[in-house]
Structure 1
Amino acid sequence: MRKLLLTLALSLSAALPAWSADQALIDAAKKEGKVVWYTSLIQDQAVRPLAKAFEAKYPGVKVDAVTGKTSELLLRITDEMKAGALQADVHHGGGAAQELLAKGALEKFIPDSAASFPADLKDTDGYWTAHVVNFLVPAYNTDMVQGGDIPKTYEDLLDPKWKGQIAWAASMSQGGPPGFIGTVLGVMGEEKGMDYLRKLAQQKIVNVPTNQRVVVDQVMQGEYPLALCTFSHHSDISAAQGAPVKWAALGPAVTNTIDPIFLLKGAPHPNAGKLLIDFIESDEGQQALAKANYIPANPKFRKEGSDPKAFTLTPQLIAKDFDRWVSIYNELFK
């Protein structure tokens, strides 16, 4: 059924007139002539196709894409702001949004093209909109974990057979144990959540000093039968290549670490920046991201089986509670 709905959504979006921004915004963007986009998206897979499609739709507005690692781009933006010589118009990323929001460095803008997006994918204060989502889920080796042993709920992870058998990347980020802890507390509530985390700590989770992708590789190789806090698309890509790995959608909700896109305060080309964000959130932009194997924010363009019920870690929630999540990890799991 989900596959049919996705096919219908793609067909309808192709049949209906393409989304177009307000003409006044288009005219203002053309006067500026270009938009500078600092992005960590994969260049050949996503950045170039998006830029090409945008420039074809809005001739006269050039996309100047500066690609790199998230941490490096954020440092570049903060250095430019300190020097009073900001070059970037548009950037993205949960950690970046969190830090820049705290500095008052974002401009309010929610594009009309995201009007139908779920409420938790748009900032209630108007500063950002998710353009990509990432689901943090357990990954398991399909040769070692089968049938009724596949965990379906958080409580299933407390089964004695998993003691010392579960791993996670010891990454102190929203995509690591702190994000898992935040989700548990958000889904279960403070009292039940802390009680659960204390019980989970008795399972002796293996802290692996690496990133999530490497842990999935170790699961595939049979070093661990099960790992927490892995990105669902990593397992999907590997499974499609024949690797013995799948991911499980824990109930009642897994972690959604959104990738918000936003306009920088003092952007040299603010209207062109708004136009690019509007395009990326439109059906055309979301389809391009889906084609590039990202999970688009717009649910109607997500592939069948890639859309579990999830609890969203917003930049504001992370800013408020992240340090506490880390302290809980240090107390119970380190």
Structure 2
Amino acid sequence: MTDIRTLALALSAVCLLGHGARAADQALIDAAKKEGQVVWYTTLIINQLGGPLAEAFEKKYGIKVFATRNDPSEIALRLLNESRAGKVQADVFDGSFAPTALVQAGAVERWQPDVVKQFPKDLYDQNGYWTAHRLMVLTVGYNTNLVPPGTEPKSWNDLLDPKWKGRMAWSSNISSSGGAGFGGLAMIELGDEKGLGFLRALAKQDIVGLKTSARAVLDQVIAGEYAIGLQIFNDNVVISRRVGAPIAWSPINPALAALSVISATSHSPHPNAGKLLVDFVVSEEGQIIARDRDYIPVHPAVAPRDPDVRPDGQRFRAVVMSPEAVDAALPKWRTTFDELFR
């Protein structure tokens, strides 16, 4: 678990080093081209980022990408079943979950692209199994038709205002992007005793728990079903706002920042093409594609298109958690959430 200021300083320092990492090895490119295709299990929305990345990869290398989108839990289960059956279909997968069980099952290739030499150490697995490709910052989103700018919550205490009672929603899934993650963050920031006190007060606000993803919660806020969404990805807000949605986000301190990571699978049908796709997604070229679609890149040489979305550790602060740290904290988060908000 890292404070965003440490990560922001590391990103800035590494950026000053220049673009020293070499492109993918020619031998890997040649072997990948012989395989001709790659299968990608992704959590990315296809028409927002998954598709553009796949199309750019195909254009660059002439390798066909077959991308299938699903929720992180479904991807993990599918990969585990494929590995146990000895019939691995995916060459690459991504998501915000820790691949610990998959690593233990031998389903994840211990491999990282050369570009990690440019990354701060918090952005890649020290054991070699994953590389971050997206920073996900979870904060408050609000419908600007229902919450005029200037009246939105600007602090956690503002969420306790009686005017928001019954008008807020979050995902009830036990994850960093749900109410459980918000509760976990409160205890990290305030300590267990004060954090629980705040959460007990928040529970009186009758927050609506939706058994769906954070993105789907945001869509319902946009539709006017709720005034405020908690644990909303701020880059998703920017993406929707650019196409005219009545939505904005508030940089309440601190936010929770999680990593979406990408890995190559073991015993896959197209192992070289899989590694080459991982290399492309986290490369400067791939990260520019993410940036241009308003996602928060992790490559030190690529700044977000909207500079406000990536916490700077000063005006906007966040706690960064690796997938493994989130995984270890989830049992405690679940207990607190079930006790106070179910």
TM-score, normalized by the shorter chain, greater than 0.5: yes
Structure 2 residue aligned with 1:306: 309
* TM-superposed deviation, 1:69: 1.9
* TM-superposed deviation, 1:330: 0.8
Structure 2 residue corresponding to 1:39, chosen from 35, 38, 42: 42
Structure 1 residue aligned with 2:259: 258
Structure 2 residue aligned with 1:327: 335
Structure 2 residue aligned with 1:21: 24
Structure 2 residue aligned with 1:53: 56
User: Would the aligned equivalents of 1:114 and 1:282 in 2 still touch at CA under 8 Å?
Assistant: no
CA distance in structure 1 between the aligned counterparts of 2:45 and 2:227, rounded to whole angstroms: 30
Q: Would the alpha carbon gap of residues 202 and 266 (structure 1) be closer, same or farther in structure 2, given more than 3 Å must change? A: same
* TM-superposed deviation, 1:47: 3.9
CA distance in structure 2 between the aligned counterparts of 1:207 and 1:224, rounded to whole angstroms: 11
**Comparing 35-44 with 260-269, which one deviates more in the overlay?**
35-44
Structure 2 residue aligned with 1:285: 286
For residue 106 of structure 1, give the secondary structure of its aligned residue in structure 2.
coil
Structure 2 residue aligned with 1:114: 116
Pairwise mapping of residues 75-94 of structure 1 onto structure 2 (< 5 A)? 75-94=77-96
- TM-score, normalising length: structure 1: 0.80
Q: Deviations over 1:258-306 (max 9, x none)?
A: 2210122333443332222112111111112233443333363312222
For residue 278 of structure 1, give the secondary structure of its aligned residue in structure 2.
helix
* TM-superposed deviation, 1:104: 4.3
Structure 2 residue aligned with 1:267: 268
Q: Would the alpha carbon gap of residues 298 and 154 (structure 1) be closer, same or farther in structure 2, given more than 3 Å must change? A: farther
Structure 1: which 4+ aligned runs deviate by more than 6 Å?
Answer: none
Structure 2 residue aligned with 1:5: none
Structure 1 residue corresponding to 2:97, chosen from 95, 98, 102: 95
**Comparing 171-180 with 114-123, which one deviates more in the overlay?**
114-123
* TM-superposed deviation, 1:50: 2.7
Q: Aligned letter for 1:235?
A: V
* TM-superposed deviation, 1:209: 4.5
Q: Which runs of 5+ in 1 are unaligned?
A: 1-8
CA distance in structure 2 between the aligned counterparts of 1:263 and 1:124, rounded to whole angstroms: 15
Q: Which runs of 5+ in 2 are unaligned?
A: 1-11, 312-316
CA distance in structure 2 between the aligned counterparts of 1:19 and 1:192, rounded to whole angstroms: 49
For residue 328 of structure 1, give the secondary structure of its aligned residue in structure 2.
helix
Q: Aligned letter for 2:57?
A: F
CA distance in structure 2 between the aligned counterparts of 1:37 and 1:225, rounded to whole angstroms: 36
CA distance in structure 2 between the aligned counterparts of 1:193 and 1:104, rounded to whole angstroms: 39
User: Would the aligned equivalents of 1:153 and 1:250 in 2 still touch at CA under 8 Å?
Assistant: yes
CA distance in structure 2 between the aligned counterparts of 1:137 and 1:216, rounded to whole angstroms: 11
User: Would the aligned equivalents of 1:86 and 1:266 in 2 still touch at CA under 8 Å?
Assistant: yes
User: Would the aligned equivalents of 2:112 and 2:131 in 1 still touch at CA under 8 Å?
Assistant: yes
Q: Deviations over 1:184-240 (max 9, x none)?
A: 233334344333323322333233454434433443454433221222234323333
Q: Would the alpha carbon gap of residues 256 and 104 (structure 1) be closer, same or farther in structure 2, given more than 3 Å must change? A: farther
**Fraction of identical pairs, as percent:** 44
CA distance in structure 1 between the aligned counterparts of 2:324 and 2:21, rounded to whole angstroms: 33
Q: Aligned letter for 1:250?
A: I
CA distance in structure 1 between the aligned counterparts of 2:223 and 2:52, rounded to whole angstroms: 34
Pairwise mapping of residues 177-188 of structure 1 onto structure 2 (< 5 A)? 177-188=179-190
Aligned length in residues = 319
Q: Does 1:216 align with 2:218?
A: yes
